[in-house]
Structures are given as C-alpha cells and as structure tokens.
A and B are shown apart, each in its own frame.
Chain A
C-alpha cells in the first residue's frame, strides 16, 4: 500500500471515528456545556466528508480545503478560549491574573508569528499554496503556544481539570502540535515527503479523535479520599527541621 492510499484509508477511518464522537457528543448533550467544541467538531466532520467527496475536482478541492482549514483554525482558538473559561470559572482571583498572563503570552506569540511570517516571506513567487501554508504555520504557533500557556498556568495555580475538559484540551493539543510540525516541514520538502506528512497529519487527527472519545465516554473521577498522614512521618520531619534550626 503506497502512502497516498494509506492516508486515504486513514481518512475514512477518521470519518468513522468522527461519527462515533458525534454520537458520544449527542448522547452527552455536549453542546450545552461545550458549544464551541461541538461547533469545532461539526465543522471538522462536515469538512472531512465534503473534502473527501470532492477530492477528484482539483481546483474546487484546493480552495475548499484551505477554506475549511482556516475555519478549523479559527474555531480551534475558540475551543482554547472555552477550555480557559471552563478551567477558571470557579476561580475569580486566579482568572484575573491568568487573563493578564494569557494576554502577555498572546502578544509574545503574535510577535513570534510575525517573525516567522517575515522570515518565510510567503508572498513570493512560490504561489498561493506556500503562502497559505505559512499563514497556517503562524496560526498554529499561536494556538499551540496558548494551549501550552494554559497547561503551565493550571499547573502553577494547582487547578483541577475535570475529565471532559481535560480530554478536549489534550486532544486538541496533540492535533495542533502535529499540524504545526507538518505545516512547518511542508514548505521545505518535496512531493514524496508531502504524502508521508499527510499520513502523519491524519494519524495525529485520528489520535485526537480517540482521545476525545475516550475522555468524553469515561465517567468523572470521584474526588480522592483524604487520608490522615502517618504521625511518625510528621515527627521525623519536625525533628529534622528543629535540628537544622539549632545548628
């Protein structure tokens, strides 16, 4: 099986996964709690089916593919915002600080994106496709950076991720990180490598779908039972500290 056939096969498998995820989202009535993620998924599913159906019409395929990609990137940002809102909904004090940090990181990422845009100079003779790939690369850098910032902030603030929102964030993270690698390498490689990259992209997307399905299906973890620590541990610790102080 050549790479092109393999990517098409994986694409069909992906549509199957998307159908399963669609059923899971419907059963969980996820549009009530995660409306932006459901929109993101719906657009993804529609574009997968649409693009697969029109893959033989070259020009139509090209423009609709990039249009759907642009829509997907925009909704990806919306999902990051949804994760952020959900994570900090119960923490007003932390939310204010996190918003400031988030804005600073966004400004920094925009600067990095601008540098990448200038360095790659997409509007040269290489054509529209190269320009679109570079713009997508910049968008993915910002998306990945924002999601990384979100994970770092949640770790620093000791926030508790709920099962479903954590799954959404991890799945999105895997997908956009793989996409970022693919679009970055895309401009530097030839057609043979593009086929391999297509396989990697579809594999990344399918992995994300599996993560979303598993986290949305799994029940919310019960809060861990709080246990008393061993008294002896505390005494040993105190003893060590007191010895240190008396030195």
Chain B
C-alpha cells in the first residue's frame, strides 16, 4: 500500500511538472483582461442578496445565489490573473535604472502580491458560500484593493513611456 502511494506521488510529480511546463507556455501569450468593477461590486452587494432572500423561495434563492457566486468567482479569477500579470510587469520594471520607476514597480509588486492573496482568500470564502448558500462571507476588501492597484499601475505607466498606453487602460 505504502509503495503504491509513493509511486503515485512520484507519477503525480511528473504530471505536475508537465502541467507547469504547459501553463508557462500558455502564460506567455496571456493578456490583461478587463474587469467591470461596478458590476463586480453589484455582485457582492449584500442588500441585493437580502432582498432576493426575502422575495424568493429558499431553493430558488440557493440556486440564484450559486449562479451569482459562480460569476463572482470568474471575476475574482480574472482579478487574480491580472494581478499575476502585473506582478510580472512589476518584476521586470523593478530592476529599472530609473529610481522612481523601480520604486513604483516595487510598490506595485507588493500590492499585486497582496491582491493575489486576497483573491485566494476570496475564492476560498466563495467556495464555502457556494457549498452552503445561507452563509454570508463577502470578499468586500477586494474591490478597493484592485482600484488601488489600477491607480499604481497607471502611475507606473506614466513613468515608463513604453507601457503608458495599453496597461492602465486595460485593467
């Protein structure tokens, strides 16, 4: 039994490496995707949810809430993906000879890292709510963090002429 588990671990490791190589190739072609923060905030609005809870039968509400959570999770996934791409951008700019660019890049990197962690936490909370729709665990801190990241990236974009146009607009 132990032998089988150990062999499964080793084969799993080889599979994981294969997935990592493919993911890295795929990532090279990834772009920043837009996020509608207004819609995202609306999805997280508890007053809306409370209203629906009062008006709808329990089963219908649970189904609707799961649908809302599924959409919210996609938003969070997009924010996480964008944060990851911004981390890559920050890493590249961190070594810039221009001190202000390097400092802003370091700030962005830190913020993007924190945002990525928030996304992980939010996805965990949303998964719990998906399993038990009566729970209320809103990842409310996510939207302001993302707004802050956008502002910082816009600032870096201004500092770096080559990145000025596309990135701040895209996220």
**Distance A206 CA – B17 CA, assembled complex (angstroms):** 17
Q: Does B10 contact A (CB under 8 A)?
A: yes
Bound form: Cα–Cα A179–B167 in Å = 45
Q: Offer 20 A-B interface pairs, CB within 8 angstroms, sorted by A.
A: A93-B110, A93-B113, A144-B10, A148-B16, A152-B16, A157-B116, A157-B120, A158-B81, A160-B91, A174-B17, A180-B9, A181-B7, A185-B3, A224-B29, A227-B31, A229-B32, A229-B33, A233-B34, A237-B36, A241-B39
The answer on a CB contact under 8 Å between A223 and B113 is no
| Bound form: Cα–Cα A247–B48 in Å | 11
B91 contacts which chain A residues (CB < 8 A)? 90, 160
| Choice from A115, A116, A234, A242 contacting B34 with Cβ under 8 Å | A234
A76 at the interface (CB under 8 A from B): no
Binary contact track B10-30/A, C-beta < 8 Å → 1, others 0: 111110110011011001111
Per the bound structure, the CA–CA distance linking A129 and B16 in Å amounts to: 31
From A92, A158, A177, A181, B87 is in contact (CB under 8 Å) with: A158
Which stretch from B63-71, B131-139, B143-151 is at the chain A interface?
Answer: B63-71
Cβ-defined contact, B20 with A155, below 8 A = yes
Contact partner of B71 among A115, A144, A241, CB < 8 A?
A241
Number of A-B contacts (CB under 8 A): 146
Q: Decide if A156 is an interface residue (CB 8 Å cutoff).
A: yes
A59 at the interface (CB under 8 A from B): no
With an 8 A cutoff between CB atoms, is B161 at the interface? no
Chain B contact surface mostly:
helix
**CB nearest to B33 among chain A residues:** A229
Q: Which of A92, A93, A137 contacts B117 (CB 8 A)?
A: A93
| B163 adjacent to chain A (CB < 8 Å) | yes
Chain B positions within 8 Å of A151 at CB level: 16-17, 20
Contact A226 B167 (CB under 8 A): yes
Known A93-B110, A245-B42: A223·B166 in contact at CB below 8 Å: no
Q: Is A166 an interface residue when CB atoms closer than 8 A count as contact?
A: yes
At the interface, yes or no: A32 with Cβ under 8 Å from chain B? no
The interface residues of chain B lying within 8 Å CB-to-CB of A115 are 2
A72 CB-CB contact with B under 8 Å: no
The complex places the Cα of A115 from the Cα of B5 at a distance, in Å, of 12
Q: Quick check: is A238 within 8 A (CB to CB) of the other chain?
A: yes
